[in-house]
Amino acid sequence: MQTKRTIFGNKGLPYLLLAPQLIITGIFFLWPAGQAVYMSFLREDAFGMSSTFVGLRNYTRLLDNAEYLDSVKVTLVFSVATVVLALGLSLVLALAVDRMIRSARGYTTLLVWPYAVAPAVAGILWWFIFNPTIGIMPYVLENLFGYDWNHSLDPDDAMTLVVIASAWKQISYNFLFFVAGLQSIPTSLREAAAIDGAGPFKRFWTITLPLLSPTTFFLLVVNVVYTLFETFAVIDATTEGGPAQATNILVYKVFQDGYVGLNFGSSSAQSVILMGLVVVLTFIQFRFVERRVTY
């Protein structure tokens, strides 16, 4: 893993600097997470009155389950679509704002505003907008394009809805970081390229994008984690994983089985698998993507 070429030599200081973070992580994350791992080997009733050690049974049953494997596929489609949409749109918007001098602040404010909407409320708003009877989108789609929108029966409509709603929540976040990233690129570099006769698109590909790569990498990781773990509130408010599990992503299943269905054993096993997946994914990202990222 990267550090600086030159470093400070103190021995005790780094531990002191890390201590608050590690203590909180240990108490409020590692301890409960360890409990969750332990629970994944148990079969328990909801209240924990009787529990039996069942070894890997919670895991083997999942992997034998066709629905669980379907959910993996759904998650993949959902994550890729959401991350691409959220990163793509926000980068375009950030590039546009970066061109502005006087109006940059105004646009930024308008674009960041939606980020202030609580996810719990955002779900309700999307439900309003896409409701088949009262919603504005089905109305527009039907009258302008003759498309009969029905996300409670059509799997593709449902996936489109959850991708839009989930990406929407991330656009403002990504936008803020892209703007900050663009601002840290020295203007002199771009000016020099312009003097050399590079057009705006060429400059984007040869200068802006490479220099933006640390930000992009950061956002990529954050967005992937977001789609994998924090989108169930949106899904719960819009499609509830349906129709017929077409939008039942892995974390929603964890939420459904554990939080709603109170099957803590299976739900814990699913979280452990999910955590393993992310550790692998992150490892790959650090190993192969970060190497090519320019700092």
Partner 1 sequence: MKFSKIAAATAASVLALSAQASAQTQIDWWHAMGGELGEKTEALATAFNASQSDYVVVPSYRGSYTETMTGAIAAFRAGEQPNIVQVFEVGTGTMMAAQGAIVPVHQLMEQTGTPFDPSAFLPAVVGYYADPQGNMLSMPFNSSTPILYYNKNVFEAAGLDPEQAPRTWAEVEAFSRQIMSSGAADCGFTTGWVSWAQLENFSAWHNQQIGTLQNGFGGLETELTVNGPVTVRHWDNLAAWQEEGVFQYGGPGGGADAPPAFYAQQCAMYMNSSASRAGVLNNTPDFEVGFGMLPYYEDVAGAPQNSIIGGATLWVLAGGTAEEEAGVAAFFNFLSSPEVQAQWHQDTGYLPITQAAYELSEAQGYYAANPGADVSINQMNLNPPTENSRGLRFGNYVQIRTIIDEEFQRLLAGEVDAQGALDAVVERGNTLIRDFEDANG
Partner 2 sequence: MVENQRWLDYLAHAVLILGVLLVAFPVYVAIIASTHEPGAFVTGTIPLLPGANTLDSYAGVFAGGVASQMSVPIGVMLANSMIMALAIAFGKIVISILSAFAIVYFRFPFRVLAFWMIFITLMLPVEVRIVPTFEVIANLNLLNSYAGLTVPLMASATATFLFRQVFLTMPDELMEAARIDGAGPMKFFRDILLPMSQTNIAALFVILFIYGWNQYLWPILVTTDDSYQTIVAGIKRMSDVVDSEPLWNYIMAVTVLAMVPPVAVVIFMQRLFVKGLVDSEK
Is residue 98 at the binding interface for partner 1, with CB under 8 A as the rule? Answer: no
Distance of CA 189 to the CA centre of its chain: 32
Give the closest residue to 70 by CA, choosing from 246, 260, 257. 246
**Residue from 33, 44, 77, 278 binding partner 1 (CB under 8 A):** 44
In the complex, least distance from residue 163 CB atom to partner 2, rounded to whole angstroms: 14
Which residues does 130 contact at the CB level (< 8 Å), separation at least 6? 137, 138, 149, 151, 161, 238
First and final CA of the chain: distance in angstroms?
Answer: 14
d(CA 171, CA 155): 24
Tell me the C-alpha distance between 75 and 85, whole Å: 15
Closest approach of partner 2 to the CB of residue 62, in Å: 15
Residue 48 touches partner 1, criterion: CB under 8 A: yes
Which region among 61-69, 79-87, 111-119, 151-159 touches partner 2 (by CB under 8 A)? Answer: 111-119
Residue 59 contact, options partner 1, partner 2, none, Cβ 5-8 Å cut-off depending on partner type = none
Is residue 113 involved in binding partner 2 (CB under 8 A)? yes
Residue 136 binds to partner 2 (criterion: CB under 8 A): yes
Binding segment toward partner 2, per CB under 8 A, in 26-34, 77-85, 154-162, 241-249:
26-34
Residues 161-190 touching partner 2, rule: CB under 8 A, are: 168, 171-173, 176-177, 179-180, 183-187, 190
Q: Is the peptide bond before 210 cis (omega within 30 degrees of 0)?
A: no
Q: Name the helix (H) or strand (E) containing 42.
A: strand 42-44
- Contact stretch for partner 2 (CB under 8 A) within 52-60, 72-80, 152-160, 276-284: 276-284
